[in-house]
Structure 1
Amino acid sequence: MDHGHHASLNRTAFQATVHCLTGCALGEIVGLVIATAAGWGNAATIAISIFLAFVFGYSLTMLPLLRSGLSVRGAAPLALASGTFSIATMELIDSLTILVIPGAMDAGLGDFLFWWTLAGALFLAFWAAFPVNRWLIARGRGHAVVHAMHDHG
């Protein structure tokens, strides 16, 4: 494999991981705001945040596919296939990071610790998901499938 192919693969994997991070971050923040406002406990807070991270991640993956003319029925399986492993990796690392930082789960939306922990957890999650996305894309899977649809859609 030549250097240009590696650079292109890294660039595509980086873009896919940024895309995944965007969906995960949006879902988590919305989930955390809902759970905090409702006064939910840690387990419910983590559950809704992870659930919404998947919802937002899949939705962001589906939008360009839908815009290219694909139906929801056609776009949904592509979004599931391309994003699941990346989102799961990101959510695992993110959730574990937040759980191990003392006081992070008890910090409120107005606390610096809340936002610092979330930012740090997402940073670590990004770098955990990057090699996952790179590996999948190198094998024609993951976001490579969605990118192929963009190119041909």
Structure 2
Amino acid sequence: MNTYIKTSLVQNIFRILLAIFMIYAGFSHLTFNRVDFQAQVPDWVPMEKDLVVILSGIVEMALGLGLALWKNHRVTFGWALAIFFVLIFPGNISQYLDGDDAFGALNSDRARLIRLFFQPVLIVWALWSSGAWKAWRQSKKDAQINK
């Protein structure tokens, strides 16, 4: 699969916004929101909650930086970020089911439920803005042509 796909100005703006969001979120994992992020780590995860928060924060910052700066590998970073969003979704579901408050705004079942619907938006955002969807579609076309 191509690691570089030409993207539009709008896609690039949204990619940079997502990258900034990820870098900020990762930084907040390591600093001022550390305890709040621990509320998202399900009890069944076989690691200390604080370690999970630290490691996920580092991963978020790395993905954000890669998405913003590594032009020839944006597609790879887009896929990696989408997979990351899928992997952390059980934590969001756990937070909803357990009724754990966090961040001040996630202080009701309704707010936690609404938040669940934003995870697919983040997945689509990562795939679209990085050109990963376009690269995947192009690889399918190329496969059809080469048959």
Structures share fold, TM-score greater than 0.5: no
Relative contact order, CA 8 A, sep 6+: which one is greater? 2
When the two structures are superposed, what TM-score results if normalisation uses the length of structure 1? Answer: 0.31
